[in-house]
Protein backbone atom coordinates (compact mmCIF):
# COMPACT_ATOMS: atom_id res chain seq x y z
CA UNK A 1 0.00 0.00 0.00
CA UNK A 2 0.95 3.64 -0.30
CA UNK A 3 0.98 4.41 3.42
CA UNK A 4 -1.52 4.39 6.28
CA UNK A 5 -4.12 6.71 4.73
CA UNK A 6 -5.55 4.03 2.43
CA UNK A 7 -6.32 0.37 2.99
CA UNK A 8 -6.91 -2.06 0.16
CA UNK A 9 -9.94 -4.26 0.78
CA UNK A 10 -10.49 -7.77 -0.52
CA UNK A 11 -8.43 -9.35 -3.26
CA UNK A 12 -5.03 -8.05 -4.35
CA UNK A 13 -5.27 -5.29 -6.93
CA UNK A 14 -5.13 -6.14 -10.61
CA UNK A 15 -1.90 -5.07 -12.30
CA UNK A 16 -3.90 -2.67 -14.44
CA UNK A 17 -7.26 -2.04 -12.71
CA UNK A 18 -9.98 -0.71 -14.96
CA UNK A 19 -11.44 1.24 -12.04
CA UNK A 20 -10.52 2.24 -8.50
CA UNK A 21 -13.26 2.81 -5.92
CA UNK A 22 -12.31 4.80 -2.82
CA UNK A 23 -14.66 4.69 0.18
CA UNK A 24 -14.79 7.47 2.78
CA UNK A 25 -16.68 6.34 5.91
CA UNK A 26 -19.09 8.14 8.21
CA UNK A 27 -18.06 9.67 11.56
CA UNK A 28 -16.38 7.08 13.74
CA UNK A 29 -16.11 4.63 10.85
CA UNK A 30 -13.12 2.97 9.29
CA UNK A 31 -12.19 0.88 6.26
CA UNK A 32 -14.13 -2.13 7.56
CA UNK A 33 -17.34 -0.32 6.61
CA UNK A 34 -16.57 -1.21 2.99
CA UNK A 35 -15.43 -4.79 3.52
CA UNK A 36 -18.76 -6.25 2.28
CA UNK A 37 -18.35 -4.34 -0.98
CA UNK A 38 -15.37 -6.43 -2.08
CA UNK A 39 -17.40 -9.55 -2.90
CA UNK A 40 -19.76 -7.58 -5.14
CA UNK A 41 -17.12 -6.02 -7.39
CA UNK A 42 -15.62 -7.30 -10.65
CA UNK A 43 -12.05 -8.63 -10.34
CA UNK A 44 -10.54 -5.68 -12.20
CA UNK A 45 -11.91 -3.10 -9.73
CA UNK A 46 -9.49 -1.96 -7.03
CA UNK A 47 -11.35 -1.24 -3.77
CA UNK A 48 -9.60 1.00 -1.24
CA UNK A 49 -10.89 2.87 1.80
CA UNK A 50 -9.72 5.86 3.78
CA UNK A 51 -8.11 5.03 7.11
CA UNK A 52 -8.05 8.15 9.26
CA UNK A 53 -5.92 8.52 12.40
CA UNK A 54 -7.32 6.94 15.55
CA UNK A 55 -9.12 3.94 14.10
CA UNK A 56 -8.40 0.35 13.12
CA UNK A 57 -4.72 0.04 12.11
CA UNK A 58 -4.10 3.65 13.20
CA UNK A 59 -5.73 3.24 16.59
CA UNK A 60 -2.71 4.57 18.50
CA UNK A 61 -2.68 7.87 16.60
CA UNK A 62 -4.41 11.07 17.70
CA UNK A 63 -7.65 11.66 15.78
CA UNK A 64 -7.50 14.52 13.29
CA UNK A 65 -9.93 17.45 13.35
CA UNK A 66 -8.56 19.23 10.27
CA UNK A 67 -10.01 18.45 6.83
CA UNK A 68 -7.00 19.90 5.01
CA UNK A 69 -4.60 17.54 6.78
CA UNK A 70 -6.80 14.56 5.96
CA UNK A 71 -7.21 15.52 2.31
CA UNK A 72 -3.48 16.15 1.90
CA UNK A 73 -2.72 12.67 3.23
CA UNK A 74 -5.34 11.03 1.03
CA UNK A 75 -4.22 12.83 -2.13
CA UNK A 76 -0.63 11.73 -1.63
CA UNK A 77 -1.79 8.14 -1.05
CA UNK A 78 -3.99 8.12 -4.16
CA UNK A 79 -1.28 9.58 -6.39
CA UNK A 80 1.16 6.92 -5.20
CA UNK A 81 -1.06 4.15 -6.59
CA UNK A 82 -0.93 2.93 -10.21
CA UNK A 83 -3.17 5.22 -12.29
CA UNK A 84 -6.77 4.13 -12.85
CA UNK A 85 -10.12 5.92 -13.27
CA UNK A 86 -11.22 6.84 -9.77
CA UNK A 87 -14.66 6.84 -8.14
CA UNK A 88 -15.16 8.44 -4.73
CA UNK A 89 -17.94 7.35 -2.38
CA UNK A 90 -18.36 9.38 0.80
CA UNK A 91 -20.99 8.60 3.43
CA UNK A 92 -22.12 11.37 5.82
CA UNK A 93 -18.85 12.90 7.10
CA UNK A 94 -17.17 11.06 4.23
CA UNK A 95 -19.30 13.02 1.76
CA UNK A 96 -17.84 16.27 3.07
CA UNK A 97 -14.32 14.93 2.72
CA UNK A 98 -15.15 13.66 -0.77
CA UNK A 99 -15.90 17.22 -1.86
CA UNK A 100 -12.53 18.60 -0.79
CA UNK A 101 -10.75 15.48 -2.00
CA UNK A 102 -12.36 15.77 -5.44
CA UNK A 103 -11.19 19.36 -5.76
CA UNK A 104 -7.65 18.47 -4.69
CA UNK A 105 -7.44 15.44 -6.98
CA UNK A 106 -8.70 17.48 -9.92
CA UNK A 107 -5.98 20.05 -9.26
CA UNK A 108 -3.49 17.17 -9.20
CA UNK A 109 -4.86 15.95 -12.56
CA UNK A 110 -5.90 12.57 -11.16
CA UNK A 111 -8.33 10.62 -13.41
CA UNK A 112 -11.51 11.27 -11.43
CA UNK A 113 -14.50 9.50 -13.01
CA UNK A 114 -17.31 10.05 -10.47
CA UNK A 115 -17.96 11.57 -7.06
CA UNK A 116 -20.73 9.96 -5.00
CA UNK A 117 -21.98 11.69 -1.85
CA UNK A 118 -24.45 10.04 0.51
CA UNK A 119 -26.43 10.87 3.66
CA UNK A 120 -25.05 14.37 4.13
CA UNK A 121 -26.69 17.74 3.51
CA UNK A 122 -24.85 20.01 1.11
CA UNK A 123 -22.24 21.81 3.23
CA UNK A 124 -23.49 25.33 2.58
CA UNK A 125 -26.90 24.67 4.15
CA UNK A 126 -27.54 25.74 7.76
CA UNK A 127 -27.55 22.85 10.28
CA UNK A 128 -30.91 21.38 11.23
CA UNK A 129 -29.94 20.55 14.83
CA UNK A 130 -27.64 21.95 17.52
CA UNK A 131 -24.11 20.52 17.42
CA UNK A 132 -23.42 17.39 19.43
CA UNK A 133 -19.67 17.87 19.87
CA UNK A 134 -19.93 20.37 22.79
CA UNK A 135 -22.00 17.94 24.90
CA UNK A 136 -20.47 16.20 27.90
CA UNK A 137 -19.45 12.58 27.41
CA UNK A 138 -22.67 11.01 28.72
CA UNK A 139 -24.97 13.27 26.70
CA UNK A 140 -22.77 12.94 23.63
CA UNK A 141 -22.82 9.15 23.68
CA UNK A 142 -26.56 9.13 24.33
CA UNK A 143 -27.08 11.30 21.26
CA UNK A 144 -24.79 9.07 19.19
CA UNK A 145 -26.71 6.01 20.33
CA UNK A 146 -30.00 7.61 19.30
CA UNK A 147 -28.71 7.98 15.75
CA UNK A 148 -28.62 4.20 15.42
CA UNK A 149 -25.20 3.74 13.86
CA UNK A 150 -23.48 2.33 16.96
CA UNK A 151 -24.59 -0.96 18.54
CA UNK A 152 -25.98 -0.59 22.07
CA UNK A 153 -23.54 -3.25 23.28
CA UNK A 154 -20.64 -1.09 22.11
CA UNK A 155 -22.04 2.01 23.80
CA UNK A 156 -22.36 0.11 27.08
CA UNK A 157 -18.77 -1.19 26.91
CA UNK A 158 -16.83 1.33 28.99
CA UNK A 159 -13.33 0.34 27.85
CA UNK A 160 -14.32 0.32 24.19
CA UNK A 161 -16.00 3.71 24.47
CA UNK A 162 -12.92 5.14 26.16
CA UNK A 163 -10.99 4.28 22.99
CA UNK A 164 -13.69 5.31 20.52
CA UNK A 165 -14.87 8.53 22.17
CA UNK A 166 -11.89 10.68 21.03
CA UNK A 167 -12.44 9.54 17.43
CA UNK A 168 -16.17 10.27 17.56
CA UNK A 169 -15.59 13.70 19.09
CA UNK A 170 -12.94 14.60 16.52
CA UNK A 171 -15.16 13.46 13.66
CA UNK A 172 -18.17 15.40 14.92
CA UNK A 173 -16.08 18.54 15.43
CA UNK A 174 -14.86 18.13 11.85
CA UNK A 175 -18.31 17.36 10.47
CA UNK A 176 -20.21 20.04 12.35
CA UNK A 177 -17.64 22.68 11.44
CA UNK A 178 -17.47 21.75 7.77
CA UNK A 179 -18.95 24.48 5.57
CA UNK A 180 -18.24 25.29 1.93
CA UNK A 181 -19.85 27.96 -0.27
CA UNK A 182 -21.82 26.68 -3.27
CA UNK A 183 -19.58 26.66 -6.34
CA UNK A 184 -19.35 24.38 -9.41
CA UNK A 185 -16.04 22.78 -8.39
CA UNK A 186 -16.67 19.12 -9.31
CA UNK A 187 -15.93 18.68 -12.99
CA UNK A 188 -16.75 14.97 -13.22
CA UNK A 189 -20.31 13.62 -12.73
CA UNK A 190 -21.72 14.02 -9.22
CA UNK A 191 -24.12 11.42 -7.78
CA UNK A 192 -26.05 12.13 -4.57
CA UNK A 193 -27.72 9.24 -2.73
CA UNK A 194 -29.98 9.45 0.30
CA UNK A 195 -32.05 7.16 2.46
CA UNK A 196 -35.76 7.74 1.96
CA UNK A 197 -36.33 7.37 5.70
CA UNK A 198 -33.29 9.31 6.88
CA UNK A 199 -34.43 11.44 9.86
CA UNK A 200 -31.43 13.77 9.56
CA UNK A 201 -31.05 14.45 5.83
CA UNK A 202 -33.87 15.33 3.42
CA UNK A 203 -34.21 15.03 -0.33
CA UNK A 204 -33.84 18.81 -0.60
CA UNK A 205 -30.61 18.63 1.43
CA UNK A 206 -29.16 16.16 -1.05
CA UNK A 207 -30.41 17.87 -4.18
CA UNK A 208 -28.63 20.99 -2.96
CA UNK A 209 -25.34 19.24 -3.80
CA UNK A 210 -26.09 20.15 -7.42
CA UNK A 211 -24.59 23.56 -6.65
CA UNK A 212 -21.15 21.90 -6.63
CA UNK A 213 -21.58 20.16 -9.99
CA UNK A 214 -19.90 21.75 -12.99
CA UNK A 215 -21.38 19.00 -15.17
CA UNK A 216 -23.83 16.15 -14.70
CA UNK A 217 -25.71 15.83 -11.40
CA UNK A 218 -27.98 12.94 -10.39
CA UNK A 219 -30.00 12.37 -7.23
CA UNK A 220 -31.31 8.96 -6.14
CA UNK A 221 -32.99 7.54 -3.04
CA UNK A 222 -32.75 4.10 -1.48
CA UNK A 223 -35.27 2.54 0.88
CA UNK A 224 -33.21 3.07 4.02
CA UNK A 225 -32.45 5.35 6.95
CA UNK A 226 -29.17 7.17 7.55
CA UNK A 227 -26.71 4.25 7.68
CA UNK A 228 -27.05 2.28 4.46
CA UNK A 229 -23.52 1.89 3.09
CA UNK A 230 -23.55 -1.83 3.96
CA UNK A 231 -27.23 -2.76 3.87
CA UNK A 232 -27.73 -1.18 0.43
CA UNK A 233 -24.33 -1.91 -1.02
CA UNK A 234 -25.77 -3.36 -4.22
CA UNK A 235 -28.04 -0.38 -4.83
CA UNK A 236 -25.11 2.00 -4.43
CA UNK A 237 -22.83 0.00 -6.71
CA UNK A 238 -25.55 -0.33 -9.32
CA UNK A 239 -25.96 3.45 -9.40
CA UNK A 240 -22.20 3.96 -9.60
CA UNK A 241 -21.91 1.49 -12.48
CA UNK A 242 -24.73 3.22 -14.31
CA UNK A 243 -23.08 6.60 -13.94
CA UNK A 244 -19.74 5.44 -15.30
CA UNK A 245 -21.36 3.51 -18.14
CA UNK A 246 -20.63 -0.02 -16.97
CA UNK A 247 -24.18 -1.38 -17.26
CA UNK A 248 -23.22 -3.31 -20.39
CA UNK A 249 -20.54 -5.36 -18.61
CA UNK A 250 -21.43 -8.82 -17.33
CA UNK A 251 -20.42 -8.01 -13.76
CA UNK A 252 -22.42 -4.81 -13.65
CA UNK A 253 -25.45 -6.48 -15.21
CA UNK A 254 -25.37 -9.28 -12.63
CA UNK A 255 -25.16 -6.73 -9.84
CA UNK A 256 -28.05 -4.72 -11.23
CA UNK A 257 -30.21 -7.86 -11.36
CA UNK A 258 -29.20 -8.83 -7.79
CA UNK A 259 -30.05 -5.36 -6.49
CA UNK A 260 -33.42 -5.15 -8.26
pLDDT, one tens digit per residue, over 35-85 is 999 999 998 999 999 999 998 999 889 999 999 999 999 999 999 999 999
Residue among 188, 35, 195 at smallest CA distance from 109: 188
- In a domain, residue 134? The reply is no
- In a domain, residue 169? The reply is no
- In a domain, residue 13? The reply is yes
Predicted confidence at residue 256, as pLDDT, reads 39
- In a domain, residue 232? The reply is yes
Please report which residue ranges of 86-232 form alpha helices under DSSP H.
93-107, 137-147, 152-155, 158-176, 203-207
Provide the 3-class DSSP secondary structure of residue 23: strand
- CATH number for the domain that contains residue 73: 3.40.50.1820
- In a domain, residue 150? The reply is no
Task: Write the CA distances from 51 to 5, 26, 37, 241, 257, integer angstroms.
Answer: 5, 11, 16, 24, 32
- Do β-strands 6-8 and 45-50 pair in parallel, antiparallel, or remain unpaired? antiparallel
- In a domain, residue 151? The reply is no
User: Residue 251: pLDDT band by 50, 70, 90 thresholds?
Assistant: very low
**What's the predicted TM-score (pTM) here?**
0.91
Residue range(s) defining the domain that contains residue 222: 6-125+181-259
- In a domain, residue 142? The reply is no
Give the count of domains, the chain: 1
- In a domain, residue 107? The reply is yes
Instruction: Please provide the average confidence, as pLDDT, over all residues in the chain.
Output: 89
Residue pLDDT, tens place only, 130-170: 999 999 988 988 888 888 756 666 666 667 677 788 999 99
Predicted confidence at residue 154, as pLDDT, reads 60
Amino acid sequence: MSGPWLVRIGKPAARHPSLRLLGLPHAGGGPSLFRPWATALPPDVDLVAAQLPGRERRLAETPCRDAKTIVTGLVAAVLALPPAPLVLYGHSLGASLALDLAVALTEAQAPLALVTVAARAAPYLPPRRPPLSPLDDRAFLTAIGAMGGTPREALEHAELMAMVLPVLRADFVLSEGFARPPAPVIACPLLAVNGRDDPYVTEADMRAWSAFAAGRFRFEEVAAGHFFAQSHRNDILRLIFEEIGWTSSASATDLCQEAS
